Structure 1
Amino acid sequence: MRVPMIAGNWKMNKTVAEAVAFVKQVKDQLPPASQQETALAAPTLALVPMVSAAAGSPLKVMAENCYYKDSGAFTGETSPRALYAAGIHHVILGHSERRNYFHETDELINKKVKAALANDLCPIVCCDDTMGRRIAYDQKIHWVVNRILADVKDLSEDEVEKVTIAYEPNWAIGTGQSADPDQAEEGCYLIRQTISDMYGSKVANNIRILYGGSVTTKNVGALMAQPDIDGALVGVASLDPKTFLQIVNH
């Protein structure tokens, strides 16, 4: 059974005090972790205080990014080893804003995924709706998600099962225009089919796939009802505690 996940991605929002106040407001109103994982990704400055504030609750605190080296002369970057030591066990990698604004490539993201896994961090790897075609060895044509082929390149079956994938169509991120449930399901299904082509159906059936892109209180129920959508990566709607709780407890 794939445990669903609702994860808020705050991006570059909230002070440390605001982040801690948010955690205290929501932490006692979340579903049990055995039924659904609930997480918040926050700016690096707020992570350690949020972990302390969330202690004893089902809430998981996530990093929004990390580097692919554990230490060294990399001014301004965040060490995956340091994140794990601070109690952070999840990290978002390859978000479209990182790709677009900071020119992150699939090759770089693949290095980050491997570094995260090496430090026992669970990567949430984002991909958009860039699709492609390839011909399998049996000469049948399969639709595949090119970005996922590159981002999880050279991972073992055990490693890839620890990865969560977030499907985020570029045109839906921060626009208020969400994919309808059928469109979102198609994208998540194609990702699962890509993983099946790469690693087999057992691995594909175990991997968790989220939808992200203008998720709201009005559409989260219909999205979560789709067979290949295992949760949501929520942007602006996660900034308000009442709205976030409504989405989490949809």
Structure 2
Amino acid sequence: MTTRARVTMVLIAATVIAGFYLAASTGLPDFGTAVHPYGDRAVAAALKHHTANVVSSVNFDIRAFDTLGEESILFGTVLGATLLLRQARDEGRRRVEAERVLPTTRLYGTLLLPITLAVGVYIVAHGQLSPGGGFQGGVMLATALHLGYVAADYRVLKRIRPMAVLDVADALAAASFSLIGLGALLASGAFLKNVLPLGTFNEITSGGTVPVLNAAVGIEVASGVIVLLADFLDQAVEVTDPEEQEKR
């Protein structure tokens, strides 16, 4: 296909998409209006399913299928990066020397690591009750682990980073979202329908499948981000030319 043909196809597709987008935009409520049809329905559905955090109700109940797609994109990104950045046969590795860390930086990382870890767990566990959830809490958990790099050096990060466990956790958490959806399909005839007991409103066990899916996303995001950063850090810090390694 010629360049001109590709550009023509892109322009045609962009024009069609723009037309549908503009047509859909005309049906939106006026900016600043008190009428919010979707918001009213979302709040009502969240209260019906005993989910105090309406955002989590939308993400893991009303449009849980969309969230499955977002989670799958992250999993595919981590998998692709792992394949692209894996060590080639002609690459070698060198021993990482101890890095000099300023006392203030070491203190900063040491103090914030447990705090960030605790806050991340809290954000994931309470995602159905308060602002936050699996995506935000998962990133915080991954950040907490890398504060070990800030507090010490790369060798310490490698010791506290169980890559084999994280690889498995990433895959299992990503698969569990679909498995929960299939379980709901068998139980109710609808994929990802909220079929678990709803519990008592505003308690940590409320929300039915919402806290379960939220926890799966938290584990998948935390494990995926750690694995993704590990692949890039291994390339930047450890991978060297085999000939250079022999000279050492």
Structure with greater contact order relative to length (CA < 8 Å, sep ≥ 6): 2
Q: TM-score range by the shorter chain?
A: under 0.3
Q: TM-score, normalised by structure 2?
A: 0.23
More helix per residue: 2
Q: TM-score, normalised by structure 1?
A: 0.23
More strand per residue: 1
Between structure 1 and structure 2, the one with the greater Rg is 2
